[in-house]
Amino acid sequence: MSIFEQTESEVRSYCRAFPVVFDRSEGCFMYDEDGNKYLDFFAGAGALNYGHNNPYIIGKMTEYLQHGGILHALDMSTVAKRKFLTDFQERILKPRGLDYKVMFPAPTGTNAVESAFKLARKVKGRQTIFAFQGAFHGMSLGSLAATSHAYPRAASGTPLLGVTFMPFPYGFNKSFDTIGYIENVIEDDHSGSEVPAAIVVETVQAEGGIIPVDVEWQRRLRELCYKHGILLIVDDIQIGCGRTGEFFSFEKAGIVPDMVTLSKSIGGIGLPMALLLMRPELDIWGPAEHNGTFRGNQLAFVAADAALDVLENDHLLEHVKQTEKFLVKYVEEKILPLDPRIEYRGRGLIYGIDFTALDPSGALAGKISKKCFENGLIIERSGRNDTVLKILPPLVITEEELKQGLDIIASSAAEIMSKEIAK
């Protein structure tokens, strides 16, 4: 490990939580260089919905490479991009009655968010964006301004302007009408806030602690935006691409956002790719007003298109809904009985086990996640002080594999909690 410690920047993070050198991966498992096997409940922070090295996607990528397919083309027209756009329109957008233009801003999620904010301000001629407390939208300055966590914000070295945070219906904020509050801020000429160009929301706050909002709240937010001429941006970067049991997380609410940001698993197999979807009338960009050298990742187009095949052929959306039932039943029967103060919440195959009431410092959850790793499970934490264990496996996971991981969580939590109580 010395080369990493000596040479790589101190900014590295996940390698500190999982201190081994990984060598290969397959399906829902990763292997270190010593051959030790780890079940993955992290899934590349949501970038690996279709599993590690999905053989079908790998096959399509290999065919493309052997054919001599172009790899870098900026935003030039290519066969690979045409096929992805055609299939995405015919298999994802049209069946859902969605009429969106597609923009390829640059390779990662923060680029999609930055372009959405930039376009919203251009369209509306207003500067302010409303985001929500607990939100995570990226780490570059524009998206970081809409990320509420004090720790990454403090590293910016400059004021983060143009965003006003609104209450999210969680914790103390669950005790009052958050949509009514936002409307009051907009309508009250003494609120100190101007009407925003856009409101950006995650229908499940992932980094905020796996906090879903119900469909009625989403519908009220959509209506508020219509009423006041505000663009609604749904950030589906981590919870899109089937994670909630629908391709888009907002489908269950029956709403149509003005813009949608996608990244992570839209790249099929972990390849860098990001999309901004926008209603056609919002597409007022001039040529090259927003661009990036790697916005045309051709191999990602191939992988993304193959992922649409996997989604359909393997009936993944239905699989997620069925597997969620197993997950919920297990948590309620095997994990919650460990202590009545443990809470859980989520949708589809993103769930959080919340230990805040036992230890709001996050130390207990940290020890449990460390014990999980020692027992062969890769699992991340999220939420305030990282008090929430984040269950985020590949969508292709079997019930047997899911049970294996949940067994590790249950046994690790029981062991750590018994030691902490004994103190």
**Could you read off the pLDDT of 202-257 as tens digits, one per residue?**
999 999 999 999 999 999 999 999 999 999 999 999 999 999 999 999 999 999 99
Q: What angle do CA 335, 336, 339 make, to 5 degrees?
A: 105
Topology of the domain covering 2-53+315-422: Aspartate Aminotransferase, domain 1 (3.90.1150)
The predicted-structure confidence for 86-111, as pLDDT tens digits, reads as follows 999 999 999 999 999 999 998 999 99
CA of residue 275 relative to chain centroid, distance:
13
State the angle between helix axes of 316-330 and 298-313 in degrees (0 to 180), rounded to the nearest 10: 70
Q: What value does the CA radius of gyration of the chain take, rounded to a whole number of Å?
A: 21
> Torsion-angle region of residue 135: left (phi > 0), alpha (psi -120 to 50) or beta?
beta
What is the second-level CATH architecture of the domain 69-313? 3-Layer(aba) Sandwich (3.40)
In order of 100, 271, 297, the CA distances from 107 in angstroms are 20, 9, 8
The predicted-structure confidence for 275-331, as pLDDT tens digits, reads as follows 999 999 999 999 999 999 999 899 999 999 999 999 999 999 999 999 999 999 999
Cα separation of the two ends of the chain: 34
Q: What is the pLDDT of residue 422?
A: 63
Domain with CATH 3.90.1150.10 in the chain: 2-53+315-422
- Taking 70 as the threshold, does the pLDDT of residue 189 lie above it? yes
- Taking 80 as the threshold, does the pLDDT of residue 349 lie above it? yes
What tokens does 291 get? 């661009």
Domain with CATH 3.40.640.10 in the chain: 69-313
The predicted-structure confidence for 375-391, as pLDDT tens digits, reads as follows 999 999 999 999 999 99
Decide if 254 contacts 38 (C-beta within 8 A): no
**Residue whose pair of structure tokens reads 């029981």 in the numeric block:** 414
Q: What is the pLDDT of residue 106?
A: 85
DSSP 88-116: HIIIIIGGGT---EEE---SSHHHHHHHH
Q: What is the pLDDT of residue 159?
A: 94
Mean pLDDT of the chain: 96
- Residue 42's φ and ψ, nearest 5 degrees, are -115, -40
